[in-house]
């Protein structure tokens, strides 16, 4: 579909056979020789759990973060694609944003980084173009292990640069990077999609396969700031729509999060989700039609 923009998370990978996220965490703890000190606990926010694992390993075994993230990058690269990845590519979306580190969405490892600048650590401009689609790895990619966004400190740095880009302007030395803030460029009608962040203020975005836990502070800040611009500050026009897809079976238990998303001008679309493969097939099939009408009759908030 022309100009289709997707934001896709890790859950589509769970259809493929292989390690679960918990298995990966246990492998990371083993790699860091931290099994006697670190215990997995659902009450620990993951970015802080990562800091616990890394700092324990750094203190006790002098493990470098570069080595740890290289290990994680190798593990991520082992994830196999499935029929949903192929179906998404068949839509030929204009942009795919993903929090995933591997290249299953692309179908193969890209040969060229087409970002505005070559980012080693953060991911404001991290883009690969394959065919007619721009792929934005907003939390880093496994070709650049230090870019993989896992820890609390990394999230903080990413958010700082995101806010600069949107609100106050950038300080990059590259002449290719626009210096005025995104808000100023929207006013001047000079938005050229330098960054994936631009799309949150300009194009409809469909989010699926992403739990949007509250540890995703960068994305929650962006949703909140966009909503404030639309309803409160009104410094720039915000006419695009954002859709969040969720299995019907999760709606009741996720009411607290869905209420917050609704307050932030996100439209909720619930679909039958007992069969994970069928759930994602229904989303992709609907997106192959006109987005505004393809999910008519589904529960929305």
Q: What are the boundaries of each domain within the chain?
A: 5-13+81-293, 19-78
Residue 89 CA, distance from chain mean position: 17
The whole-angstrom separation of Cα 253 and Cα 179 is 43
Give the pair of three-digit tokens for residue 140.
Answer: 């880093």
Residue 254 burial (C-beta neighbours within 10 Å; 0-12, 13-18, 19+): middle
Residue 141 burial (C-beta neighbours within 10 Å; 0-12, 13-18, 19+): buried
Residue 103 CA, distance from chain mean position: 13
Asked which of 3-7, 9-13, 58-62, 117-121 is least confident by mean pLDDT, the reply is 58-62
The DSSP code for 27 is: H
Residue 292 burial (C-beta neighbours within 10 Å; 0-12, 13-18, 19+): exposed
Q: Do 203 and 3 touch, CB atoms closer than 8 A? A: yes
Beta strands in the chain (DSSP E): 5-8, 95-98, 127-130, 133-137, 205-208, 242-247, 266-271, 299-300
The whole-angstrom separation of Cα 31 and Cα 33 is 6
The whole-angstrom separation of Cα 186 and Cα 133 is 23
Length of the chain: 301
pLDDT over 90 (residue 23): no
Q: What pLDDT score was predicted for residue 221? A: 98
Compute the average pLDDT of residues 207-212: 97
CA–CA–CA angle 280, 49, 214 (5° rounding):
50
Residue 11 CA, distance from chain mean position: 12
The radius of gyration of the chain's CA atoms, rounded to the nearest angstrom, is 19
Q: What pLDDT score was predicted for residue 218? A: 97
**Which residues is 271 bridged to in the sheet?**
247
> What is the model's pTM?
0.94
Give the pair of three-digit tokens for residue 207.
Answer: 């989010």
pLDDT over 50 (residue 55): yes
What is each CA distance from 195 to 72, 79, 117, 267, in whole angstroms? 25, 26, 10, 23
Asked which of 9-13, 16-20, 236-240 is least confident by mean pLDDT, the reply is 16-20
The whole-angstrom separation of Cα 78 and Cα 281 is 23
Give the pair of three-digit tokens for residue 79.
Answer: 């994830």
What is each CA distance from 149 to 36, 100, 155, in whole angstroms? 25, 10, 7
Q: Which of 56-60, 247-251, 293-297 has the highest mean pLDDT?
A: 247-251
What is each CA distance from 100 to 59, 66, 221, 235, in whole angstroms? 29, 19, 19, 32
Q: How confident is the model at residue 293 (pLDDT cuts 50, 70, 90)?
A: very low
Q: How confident is the model at residue 2 (pLDDT cuts 50, 70, 90)?
A: low
Residue-wise pLDDT for 224-278, tens only, equals 999 999 999 998 999 999 999 999 999 999 999 999 999 999 999 999 999 999 9
């Amino acid at each position: 579909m022309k100009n289709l923009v997707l934001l896709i998370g890790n859950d589509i990978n769970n259809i493929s056979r292989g390690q679960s996220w918990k298995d990966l965490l246990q492998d990371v703890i083993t790699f860091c020789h931290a099994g006697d000190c670190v215990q997995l606990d659902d009450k620990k926010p993951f970015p802080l759990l990562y800091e616990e694992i890394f700092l324990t390993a750094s203190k006790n075994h002098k493990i470098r973060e570069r080595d740890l993230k290289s290990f994680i990058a190798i593990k991520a690269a082992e994830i196999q694609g499935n029929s949903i990845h192929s179906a998404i590519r068949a839509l030929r979306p204009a942009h795919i944003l993903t929090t995933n580190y591997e290249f299953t969405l692309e179908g193969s490892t890209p040969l060229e980084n087409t970002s505005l600048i070559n980012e080693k650590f953060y991911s404001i401009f991290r883009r690969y173009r394959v065919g007619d689609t721009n792929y934005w790895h907003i939390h880093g990619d496994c070709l650049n292990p230090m870019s993989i966004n896992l820890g609390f400190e990394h999230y903080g740095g990413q958010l700082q640069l995101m806010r600069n880009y949107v609100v106050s302007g950038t300080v990059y030395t590259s002449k290719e990077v626009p210096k005025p803030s995104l808000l100023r460029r929207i006013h001047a009608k000079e938005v050229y999609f330098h960054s994936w962040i631009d799309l949150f203020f300009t194009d409809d975005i469909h989010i699926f396969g992403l739990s949007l836990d509250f540890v995703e502070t960068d994305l929650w800040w962006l949703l909140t700031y966009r909503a404030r611009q639309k309803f409160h500050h009104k410094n720039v026009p915000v006419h695009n729509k954002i859709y969040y897809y969720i299995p019907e079976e999760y709606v009741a238990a996720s009411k607290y999060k869905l209420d917050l998303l609704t307050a932030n001008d996100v439209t909720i679309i619930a679909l039958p989700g007992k069969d994970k493969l069928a759930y994602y097939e229904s989303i992709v099939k609907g997106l192959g039609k006109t987005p505004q009408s393809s999910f008519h009759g589904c529960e929305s908030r």
